[in-house]
Amino acid sequence: MFGLIIFVIIEFSFQFGTNGQITSGGRSRKYLVYVPESYDPASPAPLVISIHGFVQWPAHQQSMTGWNQLADEAGFLVVYPRGTGFPLRWNSRPDPENPGLMEGEIQFFSDLIDHLENTYNIDPRRIYANGMSNGGGMSDLLACELSDRVAAIGGVAGAYLYPREDCHPDRPVPVIAFHGLDDQVVPYWGGSSSRDDQFVFSPVEDWAASWAAENACAMSPSETKVSENITRLDYSDCEENVRVIFYRVQGAGHTWPGGEKLPVWIAGVTNQEISSSALMWEFFKDYSLER
């Protein structure tokens, strides 16, 4: 989240839950990994990469999303990478003054995947990325730049700032996303963030439609009311049978639906009518890369 000073204080008084590190681009990068008890080294397992937001950190992403519980049930591994800077962040868009920052992030995720594949029996066809806010923007960048390694992506309250004209994945990429209509940090209908007016966003439905166009989907999505406050937009008839699914969450703020609640005065309401993590996993498991 942008400008949430209280989270900066919490972050640096909190004992980071990182339990691993690698060297990427000449610098030490950290991560938190969860390996379920059901993991069998003799059997290739899927990997879910879950990426924290701006001013957040790996252990917070872990506790907020509930991915570990799903990993226990389905037998996949989860890694929560750690951003850089103060406060922690992801360089998910081009920076003319620092052109190497974004490329360094892409390299870090590629190096992290390499490291985990060398450490565990990871199925390289079934690697998935998702994230919150700035982390959602990072998962979007990975879909554009690492589509040969990431089978599908998800975003929640995503800060999607990578220019669409620069996004040229090597293949159609399945995408699932969730966004609250009352999000003030990344406004649903576009415009400046309430936390920092240097960040100006396009309407998030336009971002979803851009992925549908990239994947050559039918451009009129079906709309389904899935609960009292949630509508699903489903783009189908895409190339290679991928889908783009977008959940519009009435009354929700800059929060993870079905996840751990954040303070309303900071982030807005957390909808509990669905589990975005569970829906993401149901979506992800239908897709794998051709090898």
Confidence at residue 192, expressed as pLDDT on a 0 to 100 scale: 83
Q: Checking phi first, is residue 258 left (phi over 0); if not, alpha (psi -120 to 50) or beta?
A: left
* Tens digits of residue pLDDT in 45-78: 999 999 999 999 999 999 999 999 999 999 999 9
Tell me the H-state helices in the chain.
5-13, 58-65, 67-74, 100-119, 134-145, 204-214, 264-267, 276-284
At 108 the pLDDT is 98
Rounded Cα gap, residues 13 and 267, in angstroms: 20
Does 4 score more than 50 pLDDT? no
* pLDDT(1) > 50: no
**How is the beta sheet containing 222-227 ordered, strand by strand?**
20-24, 27-34, 77-81, 45-51, 122-132, 152-156, 175-180, 244-249, 230-235, 222-227
pLDDT over 60 (residue 255): yes
Q: Does residue 153 contact residue 142 with C-beta atoms inside 8 Å? A: yes
* pLDDT tops 50 at residue 10: no
Each residue of 179-226: pLDDT tens digit? 999 999 999 999 988 777 677 899 999 999 999 999 999 999 999 999
Which domains are seen in the chain, by residue range?
5-284 (3.40.50.1820)
The secondary structure of 194-244 as a DSSP string is: SS-TT-EE--HHHHHHHHHHHTT--SS-EEEEEETTEEEEEE-S-GGG--E
> Scanning the structure block, which residue is given the tokens 């879909």?
143
| 7 pLDDT above the threshold of 60 | no
The pLDDT score that the predictor gives to residue 290 is 87
Q: What is the chain's mean pLDDT, rounded?
A: 92
Within a 10 A sphere around the Cβ of 220, how many other Cβ atoms? Answer: 11
| The two three-digit tokens of residue 159, written as one number | 């800060």
Cβ contact 221:235 at 8 Å:
yes
